[in-house]
Chain A
Amino acid sequence: MKTALEIENLVKRFGGLVATDNLSFHIEQGQSVGLIGPNGAGKTTVFAQIMGEHLQTSGTIRLYGKDIGSDSTPERIRKGVSRTYQVPRPFTDMTVLENIRVGQMPNSIWQMIKSKPQYEKEVELALSVGFSKTDLHKPPGELSMGDLRKLEMARTIATGSSVMLLDEVFAGLTVAEIAQIGALIQQMHKDGMTFLIVSHDLKALEPLVDSVIAINYGAKIAEGNFNDVMDNDNVRSSYLGAA
């Protein structure tokens, strides 16, 4: 197996605050890993650094063995890693399909002008994340929270990434929607997608991941299979706020 994503000695300081504290981990290709920790543990900051939205203070980030630590966000996405956001950020005046189209576009002005939108692929993607045919031309304003997350997933998948970082994918969803998104992630995982998933909903997270990394105050406190990490004393106390 090949290593898809590799983080080594990652450090991020905001002034005096250490948001990421010498964090190292790696994810094999096709693996699905959960990233857990209490509120403010620095999970989203890790995502932001992997995507290049924040520049790390020190440390390296490698994707398929290549250092991506100084690339711009779009460059990293083109190399195969992308993320979703806790709060979905759709293009408000576009339909579901057009939103997906933006993710699917080539990153070259000339190609954008020359090539036609791949309409069938857009529809296929939209249907595969669970949209019904009647939703395809709706603007995001008419969608539910669950649909907005599906839309965000679909646009992220459309970029063609093979490593996906999902930030709180279950936040604000109904039980039925959680099941739907969960099934989608499992299916994609089976098809070979690599995942790093942040979620507070540990019960929903459990069936989706091969292993879990727990962090607190930006540092890794435990790593391993789900149940072992849950039983870890450091993890328990961090969630209870006693650390």
Chain B
Amino acid sequence: MNLRWYHFALWALFILVMALIPELVSKGTLRIIIFANFLAIFAISWDVLSGRTGYISFGHPFLIGIGAYTSAILTKRFDVPIEYAIPAAVLMTMVGGIIVFLPALRIKGSYFALVTLAFMELIYQLVQVVRPDLTGGTRGMSGIETLTRGAVNGYYLSASLMVVVALSMWLLMRTQLGTALSAIGMNEESVRGSGLSTTRLKLFAFLTSAFVAGLGGAFYVHYLGSIAPRALFDINFLFTIIVAALIGGASTIIGPVIGAFFLTFLLEYLRPYLPGAERYFIYGMIALVLYMYEPKGLIQLFSNAWNSLFSRRESAGNQNSDQAGKQSDAL
């Protein structure tokens, strides 16, 4: 797995900072960070699938929505205790993940992105029409049981969930499995040509991604206490998830976390200066320019800065710190 001392140090620092945040910031800021935590979970879920394998999912709100709706319906309409509802929701989302997976067996690239987009629109329309007595139809549901009361508790729950998800996904992706999934993103045929069943690998990536999405979706709905189809199955929501993952740095797990915090705070800090829609305009423009300038994301910018500051080795010039780490392992 190739763990180095600074990995432990950085994770410990990260967890420490996350634990101390409620002591340092106001309740209002804390509520913003809660959203950043959930966004980070969704972005990690997207990253595990799309960031790695290059199968761009435009349907993540579909997965998150299954998780959120299942748990909401189970607790509100059938009085299922939350501790059973959430696992059931995660399971349901994984079933949804398999459904999205089926087309991926045959189609690649742009077509896959389109079919996932179709799935999202499909469920958006179905949720409003089919059994509105269960789903709440167009207006959605409110008064859903919440897990926590108050910003501090909500923060600790969301932060722990985010840290656990991030750490476990990060560890998982540092194994050979992560390498194999990245390889699919670079050249799927060559992965098959190396004797690896890409079907199995992709299925695993979909299930893992759906697991995280379902978990995040279910906890999210029990934090909010309400759910509305237009807010969930929305291109703007999808946009925020994808951009968080990409701006932070796809295929890195930590990148999406950085991206989620960056986007959430960007939006919040623009609020006093630009209260209206122009905020989204600026926000989108910044995202676009950043993405065009460095498609590998903020984490690459940090890593470049780190390299130019501390590493004078010529050979490390255009390698990221990860590779540099392995290099020092080898020598």
Residues of A at the B interface (CB closer than 8 Å) are 51, 72-75, 77-78, 82-83, 85, 89-95, 98, 101-103, 105, 107, 109, 112-117, 119, 123, 136-137, 155-156, 158-159, 161
Contact = CB atoms under 8 A, between A and B. Distances in A.
Contacts of A89: 187, 189-190, 193
A105 B182 contact: no
Contacts of A116: 1, 176
A112 B177 contact: yes
A116 B166 CA distance: 21
Contact of A82 (B1, B182, B193): B193
A90 B191 CA distance: 10
A89 B187 CA distance: 7
A78 B192 CA distance: 11
Contacts of A94: 179, 182-183, 186
Nearest to B329: A119
A71 to B, nearest CB: 11
Nearest to B326: A137
A90 B326 contact: no
B172 interface: yes
A185 to B, nearest CB: 19
Contacts of A109: 177, 200-201, 204
B175 interface: yes
B243 interface: no
B190 A113 contact: no
A89 to B, nearest CB: 5
B176 A105 contact: yes
Contacts of A112: 175-177, 180
Contacts of B330: 119, 123, 136-137
Interface in B124-177: 172, 175-177
Contact of B180 (A95, A102, A136, A137): A102
9 contacts: A82-B193, A89-B189, A93-B182, A105-B194, A116-B1, A117-B176, A137-B315, A137-B330, A159-B195
